Structure 1
Amino acid sequence: MLKDHAKVMQAIAASGEVIGRKKLQKMIYISKKLSFPFGEKFQFHFYGPYSEELTVQVEELCNMRFLDEVKEKKGGYYQYRYTVTDNGKEFLSENHVDIPHLQECLTDMNSQSARFLELVSTVLFFDNLPKEEVEEKIFTLKSKQRYTTDEIDSAYEYIAALRKMTELQ
């Protein structure tokens, strides 16, 4: 029943701490696109791919006291920090989730900015289109983010590096 919940907890545990709801959404989406076994459905939203299912799972995990959510005021907005609690660690030790190579990828993604992960996840969302069309979509749908062609190139390079990371190990 809690298999998908356990995978989300494992992702947060592997990351140590995830700062930001948006970042968590992007990390899980990118992991899913890299063929890690996440089952949440995503749709395109204001900040790129978004999963209502994932939002509900995180809320449930917090309610079960398996995840700790700390809300911090940052300027004009709130930021959320997620860590696995001792109860969550105990649950994971009893319900082992083995996802090879996930930790390396998530650790790397967690070191990136949420803005960059938003771009990477958007590129992956439209990965069935030619690069020129993806760029056009990004310039149109994400105009407020003011992504540059160089940043888009970096996103493609990062995706290739993540794919290589999952293949090598």
Structure 2
Amino acid sequence: MKENRDLILWYLIKEFTKHCSRTGNKVGKKFLQKVVYLLQRKGLNLNYNFSIHYYGPYSSQLEYDIHRLEMNRLVRIDPKDGYTHEIIPEEVSDDEKYLSHHDIEMIDSKEIKDLIKNLSSFNASELELIATVDYVINQLKIRGTDELNKKEIIEKVKRLKGNKYTEKKIEEAIKFLEENGFVKIEG
């Protein structure tokens, strides 16, 4: 799975880079952490474990795999301003043939392709909010909160993020998650 996971990750970086070139967004480390988290939530199981971090859901395993892709020359990590990084896939056509039929079917399902396209329209900060809201909702469910309401979710996100996002932005993130089948929220 490890080698296939690296190839799937490389393939996802290629797909996001292609779609982001149309939206003007960049595929960086934070961006990739959030989209992989959300793709896993929709069933693309790459076996990454995520925990909450300053910028939302984060996987140290994913961070390690990104750097392994760079060491294997499948991607180039371009530091932009000393603070952000852009991850650029290298063209390595031979590696695509090593993706199994199952891997390709998993990635190329209509639901995953549509989600990749939708997520590409958001920048890293917007994805941070969407992924954090989803993470909060899932933690509430795990703790046995059956009926989720927007007010409680907004309070929990505000507690994590402070004033970084307005209530309206948090509501928009909830709406995106509802419209894309991640969650169902009561009033």
Q: Which piece of structure 1 moves more, 22-31 or 9-18?
A: 9-18
Which of 92, 97, 105 does residue 93 from structure 1 map onto?
A: 97
Aligned to 2:120: 110
- In 2, distance between residues paired with 1:36 and 1:109? 14
* 1:33-77 deviations in Å (ceiling 9; x for gaps): 12222210000011110000000000000000011211111xxx4
Give me the CA root mean square deviation.
Answer: 1.9
Aligned to 2:175: 157
TM-score by length of 1: 0.84
8 A contact 1:27–1:109 mirrored in 2: yes
8 A contact 1:15–1:103 mirrored in 2: no
Look up the SS of the partner of 1:81 in the other structure: strand
Given residue 106 of structure 1, which amino acid in structure 2 is its aligned partner? I
- In 2, distance between residues paired with 1:143 and 1:133? 15
Given residue 168 of structure 2, which amino acid in structure 1 is its aligned partner? D
- In 1, distance between residues paired with 2:179 and 2:11? 22
Aligned to 2:10: 9
Percent identity among equivalent residues? 24
TM-score by length of 2: 0.77
Look up the SS of the partner of 1:38 in the other structure: coil
8 A contact 1:29–1:121 mirrored in 2: yes
Q: How does 1:108-147 map to 2 (within 5 A)?
A: 108-128=118-138, 129=140, 130=148, 131-145=150-164, 147=165
* C-alpha distance 112-78 of structure 1, shift in aligned 2 (>3 A): same
**5+ residue gaps in structure 1?**
165-169
8 A contact 2:17–2:27 mirrored in 1: no
8 A contact 2:50–2:58 mirrored in 1: yes
Pairs aligned (count): 159
- In 2, distance between residues paired with 1:51 and 1:153? 25
**5+ residue gaps in structure 2?**
19-25, 141-147, 183-187
* C-alpha distance 153-144 of structure 1, shift in aligned 2 (>3 A): closer
Aligned to 2:166: 148
Look up the SS of the partner of 1:86 in the other structure: coil
Q: Which piece of structure 1 moves more, 4-13 or 22-31?
A: 4-13
Given residue 95 of structure 1, which amino acid in structure 2 is its aligned partner? L
Aligned to 1:79: 84
- How far residue 144 of structure 1 moved from its aligned partner, in angstroms, is 4.2
Given residue 140 of structure 1, which amino acid in structure 2 is its aligned partner? R
Look up the SS of the partner of 1:19 in the other structure: coil
* 1:69-128 deviations in Å (ceiling 9; x for gaps): 11111xxx42211122122x4212332431113232122212202111111101111224
